[in-house]
């Protein structure tokens, strides 16, 4: 089976120490869904063109010959990953807005080359994604490279870590999110950066500059995993591996695929390593971590899983930095920074603040100093001593100050020799749940609040305005098998506890595709539940026993739904008319089609009632559009993507009316499931190019291969979902007097009845 497409994305100038799930949710979500290393290393010198040369060419600066951002030529004998892909017969694409970057890609290496040369503007990131999206939807290249520059430019203008820079990180993450939505989950994605920064520069080789990240999402990478070490040189081999290519012999690095380790295992192992150190306390650091977590659990009536995990991990910074006899003074900052991309702020912020909480409590709470251990008193002086008044005031303004003080008090209780607080492995399940949940969206949680201040008790409708839901902050959460309890603080200082069920309410999807040999069961006209269920599940019902008087179709329609009126009226006659305003009012055969796709909305369910059948011909042909679309998705993904993404115009201009509507032939929901099919070449107005025509032809053939034929006798009717089932008829002799009457009905009542019937059948 062919490898999925691979897209390499470079976000210029992202310093991992500032990456958090709240600031860059799309990047961090991608990392959790695959693997990542947020302590990777770039090459020296850490200039943008130099690093990207190593990223794309897989070799050190000594090998490719670049030393700065000038237009110096590359050394002979170096080969980019795009060139390797082209040599193997794969299609490639690139998108960037800097000539120094574009010059790194060999002339024939990028089959679809997007280059914007208008001044290296951060606003071009979104334009880059728009242009690449057009190429992606039309061609779906096998290997692509996309470069986004916003954060680097803002870092140079305002400084790494400035408010402007942190905002730029969020903006570039939104752009990344747009790109990921287009690529879909079946595309392998590698996201990385070239360097960090300090001040307004990145020319030095300090850790703040040299530390970068690499994140990979692929079905070949275990979700929730990490690499303990990697570098820019591993990017090209990893992209090649994901694309099914052999690495170029000149490349220095190696593929990351298969080298990842589960993040939870890594974190628990860090805690386990604490068994070998004490940092001057009466218990080792493993026992201290477990006792601190237990103390948080026993603290009050409010369960806070995030704070329990913060307690378990609060001292890992000692193991990630050069510690002395009493540990590392800034272990709180180091630990929070290392955990920052992986865990929510409800975990990492109390860790970051727990040393500050000690300094604050010593300064403001009488007798607190006396509770500290000898080692803690020594580190207090190393950490700056008691806070001054201004420092304490600033600390209390921190969102998680109260929880940091809870953690600090638990910290002091977790130093008792001989106390059994369980094992590190006991904490695995909780850590896995906190990690998998990721950051809680406080706006979503606040909007879900059902307290009397937020919801009307009788109607359960919102009392809060949508514009106010963004003023909430998540303070912690407690996980159960059936959902999540979230602690919120609103901008007015009030606290709310909100229950988020495990599964949000969704519309039950009950339709099923037609199986080979499918035929609708004939139902009596009075069996409303069975008819409704057939239409809801199969999209089609065959009905008998309707009187053959004109207008009876409306009486029958009223038993299953509300009549939907169009410009044809509430009731229409399908018979040969001398001045036909629609081909349906002739004796011609009709191809498979959707009725009235030029209306918005499209009439939902159609009923055709036979008053007089044709002697020969005039048979109804029907096909399941959902089943055909799913078959097209499997057999010809590019044709499916074209029909599902390119809107076309349907139009009817006759009988004094001019109706038109724009829609895609295949309409998909956000989760990829099919919502509707609209197919009617007779009414198609948009010019059809060759690729689109081929896709439409392929879809038509699948529809024809799956069609069934149904001939109605007088008094019978067919009821079908016009957004799913396409219908046609065979030609007949116009002198035979064939006469059908039809109408359209809405689907709500039919689906409601069907769900009730199905629910009763399962109880």
Q: What is the pLDDT of residues 375-422, one digit of tens each?
A: 899 999 999 999 999 999 999 999 999 999 999 999 999 999 989 999
Please, which pLDDT band fits residue 441 given cuts at 50, 70 and 90?
Answer: confident
Q: What is the pLDDT of residues 118-172, one digit of tens each?
A: 777 888 999 999 999 999 998 999 999 999 999 999 999 999 999 999 999 999 9
pLDDT at 443 (0 to 100)? 85
Q: What is the CATH architecture of 8-257? A: 3-Layer(aba) Sandwich (3.40)
CATH for the stretch 440-501:
2.40.50
Q: Which two tokens stand for residue 326?
A: 């009493």
Which whole number is the average pLDDT over 595-605? 93
- CB burial of 211-228 (b: ≥16 within 10 Å; e: otherwise) equals bbbbbbbbebbeebbbbe
Which whole number is the average pLDDT over 285-304? 91
Q: What is the pLDDT of residues 202-225, one digit of tens each?
A: 999 999 999 999 999 999 999 999
Share the mean pLDDT of the chain: 92
Is the Cβ–Cβ distance between 180 and 140 less than 8 Å?
no
Out of 70-84, 182-196, 564-578, 706-720, pick the least confident. Answer: 564-578
Q: Which two tokens stand for residue 420?
A: 């059994």
* DSSP states along 506-557: -PPP---PPPTT--PPEEETT-HHHHHHHHHHHSEEEEE----STTHHHHHH
Assess whether pLDDT exceeds 80 at residue 506. no
* DSSP states along 619-660: -EEEEEHHHHHHHHHHH-HHHHHHHHHS-EEEEEEETTEEEE
Look up the pTM and report it: 0.76
CATH for the stretch 542-760:
3.60.130.10
Q: Where do the domains of the chain lie?
A: 8-257, 264-436, 440-501, 542-760
pLDDT at 259 (0 to 100)? 96
CA distance 614 to 711: 9
Please, which pLDDT band fits residue 504 given cuts at 50, 70 and 90?
Answer: low
Q: What is the CATH architecture of 264-436? A: Orthogonal Bundle (1.10)
Please, which pLDDT band fits residue 610 given cuts at 50, 70 and 90?
Answer: very high
Q: Is the peptide bond before 45 cis (omega within 30 degrees of 0)?
A: yes
Q: Which two tokens stand for residue 706?
A: 């799956």
């Amino acid at each position: 089976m062919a490898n999925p497409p691979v897209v390499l994305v470079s976000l210029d100038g992202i310093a991992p120490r500032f990456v958090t799930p709240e600031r860059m949710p799309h990047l961090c979500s991608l990392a959790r869904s695959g693997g990542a290393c947020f302590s990777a290393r770039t090459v020296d010198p850490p200039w943008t063109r130099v690093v990207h040369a190593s990223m794309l060419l897989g070799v050190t600066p000594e090998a490719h010959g670049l030393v700065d951002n000038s237009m110096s030529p590359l050394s002979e004998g170096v080969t980019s990953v795009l060139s390797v892909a082209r040599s193997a017969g794969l299609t490639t694409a690139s998108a960037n807005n800097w000539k120094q970057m574009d010059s790194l890609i060999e002339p024939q290496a990028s089959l679809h080359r997007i280059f914007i040369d208008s001044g290296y503007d951060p606003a071009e990131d979104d334009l880059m994604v728009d242009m690449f999206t057009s190429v992606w939807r039309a061609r779906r290249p096998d290997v692509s490279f996309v470069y986004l520059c916003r954060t680097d430019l803002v870092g140079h203008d305002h400084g790494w870590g400035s408010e402007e820079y942190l905002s730029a990180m969020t903006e570039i993450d939104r752009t990344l999110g747009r790109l990921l939505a287009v690529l879909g989950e079946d595309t392998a994605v590698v996201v990385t950066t070239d360097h960090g920064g300090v001040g307004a520069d990145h020319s030095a080789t300090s850790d703040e500059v040299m530390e970068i990240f690499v994140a990979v999402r692929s079905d070949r990478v275990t979700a929730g995993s990490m690499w303990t070490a990697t570098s820019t040189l591993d990017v090209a081999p990893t992209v090649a591996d994901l694309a099914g290519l052999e690495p170029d012999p000149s490349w220095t690095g190696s593929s990351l695929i298969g080298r990842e380790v589960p993040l939870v295992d890594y974190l628990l192992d860090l805690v386990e390593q604490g068994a070998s150190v004490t940092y001057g306390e009466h218990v080792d650091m493993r026992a201290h971590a477990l006792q601190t977590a237990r103390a948080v659990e026993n603290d009050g009536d409010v369960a806070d899983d995030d704070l329990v995990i913060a307690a378990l991990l609060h001292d890992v910074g000692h193991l990630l930095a050069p510690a002395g006899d009493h540990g590392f003074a800034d272990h709180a900052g180091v630990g929070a920074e290392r955990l920052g991309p992986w865990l929510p702020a409800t975990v990492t912020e109390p860790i970051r603040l727990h040393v500050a909480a000690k300094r604050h409590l010593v300064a403001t709470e009488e007798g607190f100093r006396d509770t500290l251990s000898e080692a803690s008193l020594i580190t207090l002086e190393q950490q700056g001593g008691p806070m001054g008044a201004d420092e304490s005031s600033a600390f209390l303004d921190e969102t998680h100050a109260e929880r940091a003080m809870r953690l600090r008090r638990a910290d002091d209780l977790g130093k008792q020799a001989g106390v059994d607080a369980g094992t590190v492995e006991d904490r695995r399940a909780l850590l896995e749940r906190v990690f998998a949940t990721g950051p809680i969206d406080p706006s979503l949680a606040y909007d879900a609040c059902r307290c009397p201040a937020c919801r009307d008790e009788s109607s359960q409708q919102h009392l809060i305005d949508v514009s106010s839901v963004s003023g909430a902050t998540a303070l912690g959460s407690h996980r159960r098998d059936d959902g999540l309890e979230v602690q919120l603080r609103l901008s007015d200082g009030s606290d709310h506890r909100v229950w988020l069920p495990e599964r949000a309410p969704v519309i039950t999807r009950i339709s099923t595709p037609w199986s080979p040999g499918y035929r609708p069961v004939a139902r009596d006209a009075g069996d409303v539940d069975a008819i409704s269920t057939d239409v809801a599940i199969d999209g089609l019902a065959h009905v008998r026993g309707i009187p053959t008087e004109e207008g009876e179709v409306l009486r029958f329609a009223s038993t299953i739904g509300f009549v939907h009126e169009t410009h044809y009226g509430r009731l229409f006659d399908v018979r040969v008319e001398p001045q036909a305003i629609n081909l349906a009012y002739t004796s011609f055969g009709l191809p498979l089609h959707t009725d009235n796709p030029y209306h918005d909305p499209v009439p939902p369910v159609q009923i055709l009632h036979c008053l007089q059948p044709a002697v020969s011909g005039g048979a109804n042909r029907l096909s399941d559009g959902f089943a055909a679309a799913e078959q097209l998705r499997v057999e010809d993904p590019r044709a499916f993507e074209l029909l599902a993404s390119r809107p076309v115009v349907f139009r009817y201009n006759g009988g004094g009316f001019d109706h038109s509507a724009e829609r895609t032939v295949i309409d998909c929901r956000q989760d990829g499931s099919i919502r509707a099919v609209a197919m009617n070449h007779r009414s198609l107005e948009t010019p059809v190019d060759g690729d689109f025509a081929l896709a439409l032809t392929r879809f038509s053939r699948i529809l024809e291969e799956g069609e069934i034929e149904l001939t109605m006798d007088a008094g019978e009717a067919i009821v079908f979902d016009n957004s799913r089932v396409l219908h046609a008829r065979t030609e007949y002799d116009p002198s035979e007097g064939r006469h059908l009457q039809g109408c359209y009905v809405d689907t709500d009542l039919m689906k409601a009845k069907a769900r009730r019937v199905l629910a009763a059948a399962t109880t």
